[in-house]
Amino acid sequence: MAQSSPGTRGVGPTLWSLLLMACVILVVLHLANAVRSEASGGEDLLESTFTTVEATR
Amino acid sequence: MSEPLPVVEAKRRKPTGWRKQDAIRVSVVAWLAALWIYGAMRVESDVQPFLQRAWPDATHQRIDDDTYRVVALDESLLGYAAVGTASGYGGPLRVGIAMDTLGLVQSLAVLEHRETPSFFNRVLRDRFLQRLVGRSTDDAIVLGQDVDAVTGATYTSLGLTQSVHRAARRIATDELQVPVPPDERRVVFGLPEILLIALFALGVLQRQLRGRRKRAMRWITLLTGLVFLGFVYNAPFVLAHLNMVLVGYWPEWQTHLYWYILILGLLLFKAKREWNVYCYDFCPFGALQEVMGAIGGAKPRKVRWPAVLLWAQRLVTLAAISLALVYRNPGLTSYEIFGTAFRLEGSNYQFALLAVVVLMSLFVHRPWCRYLCPLHKNTAEGLFDNTRRIARTTWHKVRPARAA
């Protein structure tokens, strides 16, 4: 069932696949990070964007 | 004897109607619909924390949904507060402003946004909000006139400026009763829009050519896309654009004409083998990979576990769209590395991803497009393209039964 075709023998196909899987993991980590920031962003947004004339001068 | 076989096969398949893939597609659509409803029920941001921060020891009297009168404990009028809304890059932006009785914006804060985090942070780092505070009712508060945009974050700059402009205008006309400059809704149509139309036209024209001319034309569109849509304007097609349609945020056409041309071009100019002209002919990141591939001699490579990689690509896309629907934030989960490549903006994970993809592009033909892009035909077909076919099949099954 899981036999590889002649074109997928050798180091190359495995290397590309492992690199692509690493990319998928990086995407998942990025998404998790973005969602974590969003989930805890309510108060932070006001804090990080509140701007006054006094502070600008 | 062997001729009738395909007919028998076709006849046997037809009555069964739904295949396993169809069931998966319907489940995905139902899943996204459920998340859309859940996301729509999420409450809007509250303006009260901003009011308390702007005037801590005062009473805030509500005039209408988005305007407040602020009075001191001795009942003297301190000023007004209002919330302005405009379209940003990923959806509506809400900005609260506090204005004194002389018509000066004393303070402001972003109450809600749907921008891609790295670009929003760039705007904050460039102290863009400081350019808006301190403005008076005499000022136009218009991007490009008296406010300069942050390079590479024009839509966010525009959305913030318009939000402040609208809030200030409302207080000035309704409460302070002072004359304000006329509100001009200017249509933003410049070089990026012209270039995009030209690239779609050249992409379609290229299909009519053959041989060397075809290849030359394709390289022209690819390199133009890379330089202008990539490095100069940083305006590639991203998942956030699609998410905006799914979430239901239709930006104002006057300011987001580029967005409309892009979506319309993708839908209208479907290529023969690809699901759109854009990806094949002038996607800036596709072009970057092809340039790298030309240097390194890249070609389509066989991979192990192709089904695992295909489903990883689809599931990651589904997760990104699902989260965008839940949080009603199209740009939040737009995980592409285009901004990372062309503007050096993004998370550490995106920079690591960019390094791996660019190196792989030397040896593998368009690895991002084929295995990671949320807008590749692997995902677009799997998630959306066949919805219409399923609807048509279902309709044909239901119609005879109704007629009977």
Sign of CA dihedral B205, B209, B211, B213: negative
Backbone angles phi, psi at B108, to 5 degrees: -155, 165
Measured distance CA(B236)–CA(B279) in Å, rounded: 10
Q: What is the pLDDT of residues A6-45, one digit of tens each?
A: 555 567 889 999 999 999 999 999 999 988 887 776 557 8
Contact A22 B356 (CB under 8 A): yes
Pairing status of strand A51-52 against strand B92-100: unpaired
| pLDDT at residue number B57 | 85
Task: Report residue B35 as tokens.
Answer: 């998340």
Instruction: Give B91: exposed, middle or buried? Use CB within 10 Å, 0-12, 13-18, 19+.
Output: buried
Could you list the pLDDT tens digit for every one of the 404 residues in chain B? 344 444 444 444 444 556 777 788 788 889 999 999 998 887 666 888 999 999 888 999 999 888 999 999 888 999 999 999 998 888 889 999 999 999 999 999 999 888 888 888 889 999 999 999 999 888 888 888 888 888 878 889 999 999 999 999 999 999 998 887 777 777 889 999 999 999 999 998 888 888 899 899 999 999 999 999 999 998 899 998 889 888 888 888 888 899 999 988 887 877 666 678 898 899 999 999 999 999 999 999 999 999 999 999 999 999 999 999 998 888 888 899 998 999 888 889 999 999 999 999 999 999 999 999 998 887 766 555 555 566 667 777 776 655 54
Out of B111, B308, B356, the one facing A19 most closely (by C-beta) is: B356
Closest chain B residue by Cα to residue A30: B349
Query: Are the C-beta atoms of A23 and B353 separated by less than 8 Å?
Result: yes
Measured distance CA(B274)–CA(B369) in Å, rounded: 12
Task: Report residue B76 as tokens.
Answer: 């003297």
Min Cα separation A44/chain B (Å): 10
Min Cα separation B266/chain A (Å): 25
For the stretch B320-324, contacts whose Cβ atoms lie closer than 8 Å and that sit 24 or more positions apart, written own/partner, are B320/A31, B320/B239, B320/B374, B321/B32, B321/B239, B321/B242, B321/B243, B321/B246, B321/B374, B321/B383, B322/B31, B322/B32, B322/B35, B323/A31, B323/A34, B323/A35, B324/B239, B324/B240, B324/B243, B324/B246, B324/B247
Q: Where are the alpha helices (DSSP H) in A1-57?
A: 11-39, 42-49, 53-56
Non-local (6+) Cβ contacts of B247 within 8 A are B36, B39, B91, B324, B325, B328, B330
Residue B349's nearest CA partner among A18, A25, A24, A26 is A26
| pLDDT at residue number B169 | 92
Measured distance CA(B282)–CA(B303) in Å, rounded: 26
Measured distance CA(B94)–CA(B297) in Å, rounded: 49
Out of B124, B304, B335, the one facing A30 most closely (by C-beta) is: B335
Measured distance CA(A24)–CA(B360) in Å, rounded: 14
Q: Which residues is B97 bridged to in the sheet?
A: B82, B108
B49 touches A at CB < 8 Å: yes
Query: Are the C-beta atoms of B163 and B94 separated by less than 8 Å?
Result: yes
Contact A48 B309 (CB under 8 A): no
pTM of the model: 0.78
Min Cα separation B294/chain A (Å): 18
Query: Are the C-beta atoms of B117 and A37 separated by less than 8 Å?
Result: yes
Out of B133, B363, B367, the one facing A53 most closely (by C-beta) is: B133
Non-local (6+) Cβ contacts of A8 within 8 A are B302, B303, B304
Sign of CA dihedral B317, B318, B321, B323: negative
Instruction: Give A1: exposed, middle or buried? Use CB within 10 Å, 0-12, 13-18, 19+.
Output: exposed
Task: Report residue A42 as tokens.
Answer: 């309510």
Q: Which residues is B72 bridged to in the sheet?
A: none
Measured distance CA(B318)–CA(A28) in Å, rounded: 12
Residue A1 has pLDDT above 50, yes or no: no
Query: Are the C-beta atoms of B163 and B82 separated by less than 8 Å?
Result: no
Collect all residues of chain B within an 8 Å Cβ-Cβ radius of residue A40.
none
Out of A4, A24, A50, the one facing B53 most closely (by C-beta) is: A50
The beta-strand segments (E) located in B247-381 are none
H/E segment holding residue B95:
strand B92-100
Non-local (6+) Cβ contacts of A23 within 8 A are B353, B356, B357, B367, B371, B372
